[in-house]
Structure 1
Amino acid sequence: MLALLELLQGGGTRRVGDLAERLGVDERTVRRYAEHLVELDIPVRSVRGRYGGYRLAPGYRMPPLMLTDDEAVAVALGLVVGRRAGLVPESHASESALAKLRRVLPTRLADRLGALLATSSFTAPPRSTTAVDTDLLLTIAEAARDRRTVEITYVDRRSISTTRTIAPDGVVGHAGHWYVATHDRTFRLDRITSASLLAATISEPAPADLPSTVLRSLATAPWAHKISVRVQGSVDDVQRKLPLGLALITPLDAEVRVEFWAERLDWVPALLAGLDRPFVVEEPLELRRLVAELGARLVDWADG
């Protein structure tokens, strides 16, 4: 059936006898294949007469979709996980893509895939994020690939809009958002309201480890309070207890220094307690008081 579709995409009207010979089947099988393509909403037209046969509606082209069971499962789960991670540009995009995928798969495989999707569960709830414009995402990616500059309009966290020229190195998905990485800073993609490719090119290559570049940029974003804490343990021990992109961790002799910024301090004591390791708050002094208050409450609660 896919081979028939490929032949019809060559253009013109193809006689049933010629199609049967090319496919190595009888004419009845050709007609059955054509009926299946029509059932898949592919506009195969039947042409009557001496030189009749089949043709595709003018202007229609569709590449054949040929997937193994493993490939179909990989694509379907990729769409589901992308939606749950908040990284699919449109809320309905993954659902419509899944519907199209299942429609063109063999019946048995489509049924098995449906069973997987109907019975799958995830430990983390879906993320709800601001929708990302697909065209913006693709424009930035194109600029990064071709090493071109882009003029963007950007709205920062204080709702101040500015127009600037950036040289994107790539895009990184993290914590339900797409981020645009450049050599000197990181931009949240959903805060970019417009992007236009410029003729200027970039000679400097992109960094090899863009995720680390973005995580470091997020950890050093200047919020209201700069926090510095010394913690006993290795970098790996402490990093496992902290969200990615939250802090910079510097190894010392028998401990590490954890540095990050926060707009508020009320949630930080619980985060530090969750490290389950001895620590010393270096700054700010107000954080020391909040940690002490949390410790007192925990003692009271433990004593009943």
Structure 2
Amino acid sequence: MTTSATRVLALLEILQNGGTRTVADLAGRLGVDERTVRRYAGHLLELGVPVESVRGRYGGYRLAPGYRMPPLMLTDEEALAVLLGLLVTRRAGPVTASGAASESAAAKLRRVLPKALGRRLEALLETADFTARPRPAEAREAGLLLALAEAARDRHPVALAYTDRTGRRSDRTVRPYGLVAHGGRWYLTAADPAAGEAEVRTFRLDRVNGVTALPGSFETPAGFDPVAAVLDGLARTPWAHEVRLRVMADERHIRRHLPATVATLSPLPSDDGPDWTDVRLRAERLDWIPGVLAALDRPFVIERPAELRELVRSLARRLDEYAADPAPHSP
């Protein structure tokens, strides 16, 4: 939306608050001259908005008495698409504290929709839920996201204040290539000249403490894929445990318990035998994996690490004890 269009809408919003507004007052609030205010009022008249011109010492502009903005005319599918987009934003990668911006935007949308459609969307809000809980977010992330997006689009470097996964703080100058939402978080892909002219790094947005735009420009490498860069960077992140398994099940069954964000799967060739799948994942802790293997309810082989085998055996012993016949009840 152009700046002039934004200001025309701002003029309409001011006038909807009621009363007569002088041209001088409107010019000051919109940051334009009085001639431009008159032109904006003409634009509103062309759009069918009944703007009245009031002459005299205290004259200016006002809306015709009784005028109200018409309901927002969206089809059912359009309204559903917008509302679901707001709901998913709160779950997939929030950038405002507690999803307050998404909630307020959804409330405004519902207020201006026709009543029948509004009631249907209310039913969706009351009955729909997500399996993934939204992570806590800080309101500052919205400003960081917008600043980095602008820098990536305009191709100018930025100075980052960053805290890595070990808690070490640093200041660095990077060339932002793109932003990616993944696993409920936002990531920045950027070239880090200090680490090597061609070195591309991945930075988590919630670990960025400040962004400062710098002069200069750069070119993004031809064919660069930010999503592939983020996934590759995450795959290279060192973890405490490298886990490799073979499971007698197809990918569809395994994915019910190990999503793509957790494990990589590769089918293993077989000569008319049962399907086996190679499962690889990285984890900081192993204690949650035995329960997942039990839930799979399929034969499996643990290739590494050895300590995972003992954790599985320990779980098996506990389950066996839990399933034992109860002791006779003494009278």
TM-score (norm 1): 0.71
- Alignment partners' CA distance in 1, 2:87 and 2:263: 30
Structure 2 equivalent of residue 175 of structure 1 = 183
Structure 2 equivalent of residue 166 of structure 1 = 174
Deviation at 1:155, TM superposition (A): 0.8
Distance change in 2, residues 1:106/1:228 (3 Å): closer
Structure 1 equivalent of residue 122 of structure 2 = 115
- Alignment partners' CA distance in 2, 1:112 and 1:86: 27
Of 247, 259, 283, which residue of structure 1 is paired with 2:263? 247
- Alignment partners' CA distance in 2, 1:187 and 1:209: 12
Deviation at 1:192, TM superposition (A): 0.7
**Identical aligned residues as a percent:** 43
Deviation at 1:289, TM superposition (A): 0.8
Equivalences for 1:27-176 in 2 at 5 Å?
Answer: 33=50, 47-49=54-56, 54=61, 67-69=73-75, 70-91=77-98, 92-103=100-111, 105=112, 108=115, 111-112=118-119, 115-116=122-123, 119-124=126-131, 126-131=133-138, 133-176=141-184
- Alignment partners' CA distance in 2, 1:143 and 1:236: 41
- Alignment partners' CA distance in 1, 2:119 and 2:289: 46
Q: Which structure 1 residue ranges, 5 or more long, are not aligned?
A: 25-29, 35-44, 57-63
Distance change in 2, residues 1:118/1:290 (3 Å): closer
> What SS does the aligned partner of 2:83 have?
helix
> What SS does the aligned partner of 2:238 have?
coil
Distance change in 2, residues 1:260/1:114 (3 Å): closer
Given that residues 14 and 55 in structure 1 are in contact (C-alpha distance below 8 angstroms), is that contact kept between their aligned partners in structure 2? no
| 1:117-158 alpha-carbon deviations (Å, 9 max, x no partner) | 653431436413232521211122233334444331211222
Distance change in 2, residues 1:127/1:136 (3 Å): same
Distance change in 2, residues 1:177/1:266 (3 Å): same
What amino acid does structure 1 have at the position aligned with 2:80? V
Q: Which structure 2 residue ranges, 5 or more long, are not aligned?
A: 1-7, 13-35, 64-69, 191-198, 271-275, 326-331
- Alignment partners' CA distance in 1, 2:287 and 2:303: 17
Distance change in 2, residues 1:188/1:248 (3 Å): same
- Alignment partners' CA distance in 2, 1:54 and 1:220: 62
Given that residues 229 and 283 in structure 1 are in contact (C-alpha distance below 8 angstroms), is that contact kept between their aligned partners in structure 2? yes
Structure 2 equivalent of residue 268 of structure 1 = 289
Structure 2 equivalent of residue 37 of structure 1 = none
Deviation at 1:82, TM superposition (A): 1.5
- Alignment partners' CA distance in 1, 2:71 and 2:171: 42
Equivalences for 1:145-294 in 2 at 5 Å?
Answer: 145-182=153-190, 184-198=200-214, 199-205=216-222, 207-208=224-225, 210=227, 213-254=229-270, 255-294=276-315
- Alignment partners' CA distance in 1, 2:251 and 2:300: 14
- Alignment partners' CA distance in 2, 1:147 and 1:191: 22
Q: 1:12 aligned to 2:38?
A: yes
| 1:62-112 alpha-carbon deviations (Å, 9 max, x no partner) | xx9964134333222322232244524233212232344345x25536743
Given that residues 248 and 258 in structure 1 are in contact (C-alpha distance below 8 angstroms), is that contact kept between their aligned partners in structure 2? yes
- Alignment partners' CA distance in 2, 1:233 and 1:96: 45
> What SS does the aligned partner of 1:243 have?
coil
Given that residues 85 and 126 in structure 1 are in contact (C-alpha distance below 8 angstroms), is that contact kept between their aligned partners in structure 2? no
> What SS does the aligned partner of 2:96 have?
coil
Distance change in 2, residues 1:288/1:125 (3 Å): closer
Would you say how many aligned residue pairs link Structure 1 and Structure 2? Answer: 271
